[in-house]
Chain A
Amino acid sequence: MDLVDFLFFVEVLVGGLLSGIMYSLVALGLVLIFKASSIFNFAQGALVLFGALTFVLLTEVAGDFWMWTGWLAIVLAGAAALIMALQKLNVDGSAVKQFSDKYLPRMPIFIAAFVVIVLALFIDGGQNMWRAVFVTMLLFLMLTTAVQSPKWAIGVLLGLAVIALITDGAVTYRAFAVTLAVVIGLAMAIERIVLRPMVNQEPIILFMATIGLNYVIEGVAQGVWDADVHALDIGIPDIPFDFYGVYFSQFDLFAGLIAAALVTALAIFFQKTRVGRALRAVADDHQAALSVGIPLKNIWAVVWAAAGIVALVAGLMWGSKLGVQFSISLLAFKALPVIIIGGFTSIPGAIIGGLIVGATEKLFEVFVGIPFLGGGTENWTPYMLGMFFLMFRPQGLFGEKIIERV
């Protein structure tokens, strides 16, 4: 092999590794959720799409959306304050108390309201007023059912109102802040409303439920916003970058840095914080964790929130590389072989698995697929690789070995 060939090989390899990092970003979300609740969240890809779509459309949306959002947030914050006041007045047997217990933070009411809003959006062809209702209601729903804290609801909604009505100039930051809240809200609401009530079901049933959720989120995302391809520019040019004769994509390098930062942040979070340590205990043994009084439910909420953040980051990276479009959620499927290879419970595994998948699919495509097989092999190489790992090392590279008992 002469030098030119070698440099080309290195270029392909590095390109593969860097694009693999993008899979790792999605895989991270899967691992987090799996560690905390043994749920294989198929809907992570839809969350990624939802995040990217929400962000890009919030940067494009017209002023009346923000006006509606701001005022609605204020109204809902008022409602939350009312709820709080009613709950404070918990004189036993009083009519007020009965009323607040009976009608206020009731999940079915909120779900029904949510369904009505989504339907209205569809019939109305995505008017900004209904979009605003959707965004504020989603936050309200999440805060009152998932977090169950009117105090938080008031804070977040007032924050939303401020952002919507006042920060006119900073389009990107405004969109990012609101998207972050909405994506976290959606992730937590999914956990609280759909998955937690199913906690005693078989893992495979939960898995299929997340496939259903995947469809719902995709449908809502595209219904609330739209299904067109949107360009997303987060300010990093995707130009090649010359390093001693080897060309790297600047954007991919940036994505790598983001992933590294994210992993470091997660690692610190899990090593140093109380919630993180609790999560590790939960991952080791649910029953034991419960019996020493670790509040599983709070942990689930935190983990889903974290998975929402990771999904948003992944969505922004994917979106700016490929444009925000439906196929993002399909590409996210490749995170599945990634965690199979890395192990379902290992954060470093998600990164290494992503690198392996990225490198393999690129090298195979360039050196075998295109010359000999007519190309397009990237469609299946990750899954074949995953299958072989499953055959020979079912727990993945970093997962714990599963011993069955009777």
Chain B
Amino acid sequence: MFYREVGQYKSSYPADQAIFPLSNDRIGVMIILLIAFIWPPLSGSQYLMGPILTQLLVFGLAALGLNLLTGYAGQVSLGTGGFMAVGAFGCYNLVLRLPEIPIVIDFILAGLMAAAVGVLFGIPSLRIKGFYLAVATLASQFFLLWIFDHVGWFTNYDPAGVASAPTQTFFGALTGEGRALEFLAPIDVIVSGPNATPETKYVLTLAVVVVLALLAKNLVRGMTGRAWMAIRDFDIAAEIIGIRPLRTKLLAFAISSFYCGVAGALYVFTYVGNADTEAFDLIRSFTILFMIIIGGLGSVMGSFLGAAFIVLLPPFLNIVASNLGEGTLSGAALANLELIVYGGTIVFFLAVEPLGFARMWQIVKEKLRQWPFPY
């Protein structure tokens, strides 16, 4: 009834190519974004902003990065954690050693570092594919973490190997007294470290993620995205229509790692506030792979839906457990149950709906479009 495309004719190609061709969708997304920016800070709930929403956004961004590589370009990677670590420790050192740089530029530079490393580890993709490549990406996962563990410089010689986000303002140290950008000081805010408010951290994360998600959406609906999908669906045919395999795959590795790197930087600065290598271990890489399988391979929105599932499952199970009564489900049992639910969901989606939640959502929309006259 309410969800209709009838009467919405597209008279030009640009209009037809818009991200949300239906005005219903467009308005819906605007409203959701508006609520996302305003409601959690107003609610003042730290739990909602931090462990729930910021976590969802950070991992959603990493999942989006992996989805560009795996879901769009078809190159399976088990090294996501390693690329996140590059961004995390890269950004930490930038802020620590060059506090003058505005934080957003730090994020971008951290992403670029991860992109460079990603390209390096993407080189084998020219010769190998499928699970052969997946195994090769394990090399990046283990090697990168080993480096961050063994070279003390990366964590500023912290005895426990933990990088703790220093206090940093949005525009950087140059807004300090007597520095070049002092005039910006009144509108500057602290965005990281113990003095940053959860509201600022959440809004900054959301802004970064929204912008990057939009850029990703633009990429995948343009020629770059088509080249990636062509390589994914039929690499030989792609080459024969003039797509340069190495360039296309390395670009996918670079952009994917950029996203993962920024996610890693956000993890340290706006989500947890610190990180050691354990935060980016192999389990993390798998978890992010699970997000895109469950959410939908080759879907920008699916990356976030999958992240939501994985982030919300543990608190959900906890609530179930506490409702069953104290002690019926022990902590260990819950952890194992989580493993089973994750794994079972993965198998279910791969067997039944390889395109994940994103596809299910589309099917729901199809149904809605026809409701209440389904013919």
Interchain CA distance A185-B146 in the complex, whole Å? 39
Q: Is A83 interfacial (CB-CB < 8 Å)?
A: no
Q: Is B347 interfacial (CB-CB < 8 Å)?
A: yes
Closest B residue to A393 by CB, please name it.
B127
Q: Is the CB of B142 within 8 A of A379?
A: yes
Q: Is the CB of A211 within 8 A of B135?
A: no
Q: Is B329 interfacial (CB-CB < 8 Å)?
A: yes
Q: Is the CB of B130 within 8 A of A203?
A: yes
Q: Is A218 interfacial (CB-CB < 8 Å)?
A: yes
- Say yes or no: A201-B142 contact (C-beta < 8 A), given A337-B135, A391-B127: no
Number of A-B contacts (CB under 8 A): 149
Q: Is the CB of A379 within 8 A of B135?
A: no
**What chain B residues lie within 8 Å of A40 (beta carbons)?**
131
**What chain A residues lie within 8 Å of B23 (beta carbons)?**
none
For B326-343 the 0/1 string (1 means CB < 8 A from A) is 001110110011111011
How many of A's residues come within 8 Å of B, CB to CB?
A: 51
Interchain CA distance A317-B339 in the complex, whole Å? 26
Q: Is the CB of A380 within 8 A of B346?
A: no
Contact residues of B: prevailing secondary structure: helix
Partner pick for A212 among B124, B337, B347, CB 8 A cutoff = B347
For B123-140 the 0/1 string (1 means CB < 8 A from A) is 110011011111110110
- Say yes or no: A387-B347 contact (C-beta < 8 A), given A208-B293, A219-B337: no
Q: Is B350 interfacial (CB-CB < 8 Å)?
A: yes
Q: Is the CB of A215 within 8 A of B134?
A: no
Q: Is A281 interfacial (CB-CB < 8 Å)?
A: no
Interchain CA distance A197-B350 in the complex, whole Å? 11
Q: Is B179 interfacial (CB-CB < 8 Å)?
A: no
Q: Is the CB of B340 within 8 A of A223?
A: yes
Interchain CA distance A394-B131 in the complex, whole Å? 12
Closest B residue to A390 by CB, please name it.
B128
Q: Is B237 interfacial (CB-CB < 8 Å)?
A: yes
Q: Is A246 interfacial (CB-CB < 8 Å)?
A: no
**What chain A residues lie within 8 Å of B149 (beta carbons)?**
376
Q: Is the CB of B350 within 8 A of A208?
A: yes
Q: Is B20 interfacial (CB-CB < 8 Å)?
A: no
Q: Is A213 interfacial (CB-CB < 8 Å)?
A: yes
Closest B residue to A340 by CB, please name it.
B135
B369 CB → nearest A CB, Å: 29
Q: Is the CB of B340 within 8 A of A336?
A: no
Q: Is B324 interfacial (CB-CB < 8 Å)?
A: yes
Enumerate 27 A-B pairs (CB-CB under 8 Å) in ascending A order.
A122-B329, A123-B324, A201-B351, A205-B350, A207-B130, A208-B76, A208-B289, A208-B350, A209-B346, A209-B347, A209-B350, A211-B286, A212-B345, A212-B346, A213-B347, A215-B340, A215-B342, A216-B340, A219-B338, A223-B340, A373-B150, A380-B139, A383-B139, A383-B142, A383-B143, A390-B124, A394-B132
Chain B residues in the interface with A (C-beta under 8 A): 74, 76, 123-124, 127-128, 130-136, 138-139, 141-143, 145-146, 149-150, 236-237, 240, 282, 286, 289-290, 293, 324, 328-330, 332-333, 336-340, 342-347, 350-351, 354
Chain A residues in the interface with B (C-beta under 8 A): 40, 118, 122-123, 125, 194, 197-198, 201, 203-209, 211-220, 222-223, 226-227, 330, 333, 336-337, 340, 373-377, 379-380, 383-384, 386-387, 390-391, 394, 404, 406
A209-B347, A394-B127 are known; give 5 further A-B pairs, CB within 8 A.
Answer: A203-B130, A203-B131, A212-B344, A340-B135, A383-B141
